[in-house]
Amino acid sequence: MQAADTNVWARAYLNDDVRQAQQARKAISDACSAEGIFVPLLVLAELFWVLAGAWEKERVLDTLEHIFSTDGVTVESHAFAERALKESRTGGAGFADRLIAEVAFAEGVREILTFDKAFARQPHVRRLH
């Protein structure tokens, strides 16, 4: 199995450098067809932020969902990522915030501290003033 850095995934989707985008898409496709490609949660969080700088939120979430459902892709802690995606579609917090919450609460955290107003509206998340 292989893994790809965030910049490979970003190039594949953003197509902001045509040569690198082609290389990235081919590398991802080849990995999926062969032994598979692993996507760490950190890559998903970074990719969300990179894509959100260029696209609307729903398009970014649709792209992440596409990654999750692609044959040959293995997402770290897939259930956490799926819940974070679902919650970010229905709640006020973004995907990366929801991913932080999923991982933290699974590890026994009782409260998350933030300055983010939208994230602070989530249960067990407290905004610092």
Q: Give pLDDT tens digits for 21-79.
A: 999 999 999 999 999 999 999 999 999 999 999 999 999 999 999 999 999 999 999 99
- Summarize pLDDT for 88-123 with one digit per residue, the tens: 998 768 899 999 999 999 999 999 999 999 899 989
Give the per-residue pLDDT at 93. 81
Give the per-residue pLDDT at 90. 86
CA distances (Å), origin 68, targets 63, 65, 81 = 9, 5, 9
Domain limits of the chain? 1-76, 77-129
Give the per-residue pLDDT at 47. 97
From the DSSP assignment, how many helices (H) and strands (E) are in the chain?
7, 5
CA distances (Å), origin 80, targets 10, 39, 83 = 21, 13, 5
Edge-to-edge strands, sheet with 2-3: 2-3, 37-39, 73-75
